[in-house]
Amino acid sequence: MTADSKKSPEIPDCYYPNNPILITPDRPTPKESLYLSNLDDQKFLRFSIKYFYLFKKGICVEKLKKSLSKVLTEYYPLAGRLRGSNEKLEVDCNGEGALFAEAFLETYSVDEFLEFSNKPNKSWRKLLYKVDAFSFLDVPPLVIQVTKLRCGGMILCTAINHCLCDGIGTSQFLNDWSYLTSNPNSDLPIQPFHSRNLLKPRYPLQVTFPHSAYVKITPEMEQNDHFALDKYLQSQPLVSISVTFNLPQILSLKSKITPSQKCTTFEALASHTWQAWVKSLNLSNLVKVKLLFSVNIRKRLKPELPKGYYGNGFVLGCAETTVKDLTTNNISHGVKLVQQAKSTLNDDCIRSMVDFLEDKKVKTDLSTTLVISQWSKFGLEDLDFGSGKALQMGPVVSDIYCLFLPVMNHPDSTRILISSPQNNAEKFEYYITQIDQFNGFHNEDINNTPSDS
């Protein structure tokens, strides 16, 4: 694997020739209030997923606006506005429109930007127009900025409200937008399915499974040392770490797993990353640690969710154990924990989780937890508006979760991007790049790792 050592520089402010505009659907759309399921309406998801794309050649902005207007006719909730209270949100499908900004950044060419594009920093937020809004609810669910570079290349950044869709839905929307840009007189291959009623809770509620990804916070728990790590992690500056695993390295990692134990690339990399992350933190052996990871439920439910389902169709798988159990066993043990967490997520368990989330005092447990979100198998890297696929894609900012990202033109490779607390970054990078020695951690390993300072 290769760790990306090139630090990305602070980028200057973009130049905006005009004020952003609202792009509305090109035809009348349903005027309705769209119910959000308990999987959509989690406080854990009350943010916008910000995507970054770097294209060698720019696309005519007017052409992009026209196709966006057309695709919003089908994806009309993205042209609406969130409404509601802290307890429950819904989408007012009022056709108000998506925010579209055009900008210029003459400082860089595409090739220059590509050199450091694996490691975003906070200044990349300038690549997305900042909406002057009083609250989260006042920001349009879809914000887009097209930034032209010195050489004629283009950066496309989008902010899509996570309450409206997950990564699969985002990929579906972006690819449909690009499809209509290249094929303006065509219909969409698959129509988005917007109703979330299939994921309504049951009455009476039937919580029949434990849901260890979540916790109900009480004042007493907030004072417990269990939350000390969470506060420690939040108190430090974050450092972006980007590590790319190619196919031979992934196969080498899988070779450490018990021969009779088949596993996916995600399961192997997730276990490896979790172990490296926990070891880098120097926690007490008895501390319980968790790995949360997104699991697509579209085909796990009975009946399955309709094709084109456009909402959050994932739940959080949760593997948990003690620091000692995770770090003194080899990668096979971590893989087993991940597989066990996935295996419990059948229709009954998912329905129970939906009912459980009806309690709005329940929160995702992030206290001693690594969260992994997989972007590498959604087709996000296939986006093509007619001038070729992107040279690079990823997040605009890297301070949310650990991301498994696609590597452009290398479908069998995976890039892991994580923001680590500054004091732990060097040790984490050491552990995640040690495949050959990764047969279980022992106390003596600390003598061969970077210092804590």
Peptide bond into 204 cis (omega under 30): yes
Q: Are 143 and 158 in contact (CB under 8 A)?
A: yes
Place of tokens 């005027």: 31
b/e map of 129-155 (b: 16 or more CB within 10 Å)?
A: beeeeeeeeebbbbbbbbbbbebebbb
Cβ density class 307-339: b for 16+ within 10 Å, e for less: ebbbbbbbbbbbbbbbbebbbebbbbbbbbbbb
Q: Quote helix, strand, coil % in the chain, to nearest 5.
A: 30, 25, 45
| Cα-based distances in Å from 394 to 249, 344, 407 | 21, 30, 10
3-class SS of residue 388: coil
Q: Is the dihedral of CA 283, 285, 286, 288 positive or negative?
A: positive
The H or E element spanning position 238 is strand 238-245
Distance CA 363, CA 202 (A): 20
Three state DSSP letters for 293-304 = EEEECCCCCCCC
Asked whether 55 and 387 are in contact (CB, 8 A), the reply is yes
> Residue 278, by phi and psi: left (phi above 0), alpha (psi -120 to 50) or beta?
alpha
Q: Which two tokens stand for residue 136?
A: 């989260």
Residues carrying an active site annotation: 162, 384
**Rounded Cα distance, 235 and 68, in Å:** 40
